[in-house]
Amino acid sequence: MEFIFERKINYYETDRMGVVHHSNYIRFLEEARCSWLDYLQMPFALLEENGITIPVLGVNVEYKNHVTFNDTIKIKLFMKEYTGVRMTVGYEVTENETNKIVLVGETKHCFTTKELKPISLKKYKPEFHEKFERLIK
């Protein structure tokens, strides 16, 4: 299942050259991931109420084109891998008007307790595990 998140680029997110600074894309991916979890009815607040955190283990992105102030981007997000202990989320960012690919990438995560002890969602919270597992089928 793919999920699409749209956002407009703010002026403060651009650099001296007038393009979005590369570091901001990591924030955009997180915004999309938070929105995706809301859509799945597993918002971060609910996960945290259940003692679950999802730290980022790694980020890998490749920049293809740039966007500037007032452009709108679409972030297509999808589950690449899920084991119950770890997940990899894939992204494709496109500029809305031209449909040019701006970025492709992925983030790797694990599931932990609030004390950052790794957990298996299958054992810890089977209802969350089932929702994530359905995303890769």
* Higher pLDDT pick, 116 / 1: 116
Structure confidence at residue 1 (pLDDT): 77
pLDDT digits (tens, 9 = 90+) for 104-136: 999 999 999 999 999 999 999 999 999 999 998
Of the candidates 136, 21, 18, the residue with the CA atom closest to the CA atom of residue 84: 136
Number of domains observed in the structure of the chain: 1
| Helix, strand, or coil (residue 74) | strand
Distance CA 121, CA 8 (A): 34
> What number is the average pLDDT over the span 52-73?
98
Overall pTM > 0.85: yes
> What number is the average pLDDT over the span 75-81?
97
pLDDT at 68 over 80: yes
pLDDT digits (tens, 9 = 90+) for 31-53: 999 999 999 999 999 999 999 99
pLDDT at 7 over 70: yes
CATH number for position 101: 3.10.129.10
Structure confidence at residue 137 (pLDDT): 61
Domain ranges, residue 45 = 3-134
SS3 content of the chain, % helix, strand, coil (to 5): 30, 40, 35
pLDDT at 19 over 80: yes
The whole-chain average pLDDT of the chain stands at 96
Q: Which helix (H) or strand (E) holds 95?
A: strand 86-95
